[in-house]
């Protein structure tokens, strides 16, 4: 689930018309917005100011765009506040980070403590997406003991 969301983020960043790409996703992910202090990541994996390498857009197939839209559609299964958390965490992974820096996300989420709580919220949000994708039947949930 997480890997598909990372792939969707990377596909979104490669969209030739990034503004239109984000506008398409705003209905599923309205809380994600550019943060002027953090910079705006581009397809090179960093902010546009840190590299002299010209941005080279890769062409996208209809299948890639459909998979991106499907993955972002999964976010409708979770609370809007959790969508922002998932989006910020997935953006870190898509930018090449091996692990999510929960301490860095505290300020972006408007908190000054509780990094472990953010990690748990993120896990619960991904679990809710998985449950929704499996038909919403909690007995089919992998974290529930089978009897």
**Domain ranges (residues) in the chain:** 2-49+58-140
pTM over 0.75: no
Which candidate, 29, 17, 23, 27, places its Cα nearest to that of 91?
A: 29
The whole-number pLDDT of residue 31 equals 47
The whole-number pLDDT of residue 49 equals 55
How many Cα atoms are found within 13 Å in the side-chain-facing hemisphere of 7?
14
The whole-number pLDDT of residue 128 equals 93
The whole-number pLDDT of residue 36 equals 42
The whole-number pLDDT of residue 4 equals 92
Which candidate, 70, 72, 91, places its Cα nearest to that of 27?
A: 72
Query: Is there a contact between 78 and 29 (Cβ–Cβ < 8 Å)?
Result: no
Query: Is there a contact between 59 and 108 (Cβ–Cβ < 8 Å)?
Result: no
Q: Which residues of the chain have pLDDT under 70?
A: 17-59, 136-147
């Amino acid at each position: 689930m997480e890997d598909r969301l990372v792939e969707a983020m990377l596909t979104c960043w490669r969209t030739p018309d990034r503004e239109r790409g984000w506008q398409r996703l705003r209905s599923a992910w309205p809380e994600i917005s550019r943060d002027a202090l953090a910079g705006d990541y581009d397809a090179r994996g960093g902010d546009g100011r840190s590299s002299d390498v010209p941005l080279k857009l890769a062409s996208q197939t209809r299948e890639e765009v459909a998979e991106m839209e499907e993955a972002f559609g999964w976010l409708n299964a979770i609370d809007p506040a959790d969508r922002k958390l998932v989006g910020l965490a997935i953006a870190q992974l898509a930018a090449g980070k091996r692990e999510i820096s929960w301490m860095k996300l505290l300020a972006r989420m408007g908190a000054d403590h509780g990094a472990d709580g953010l990690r748990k919220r993120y896990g619960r949000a991904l679990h809710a997406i998985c449950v929704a994708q499996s038909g919403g039947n909690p007995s089919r949930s992998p974290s529930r003991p089978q009897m």
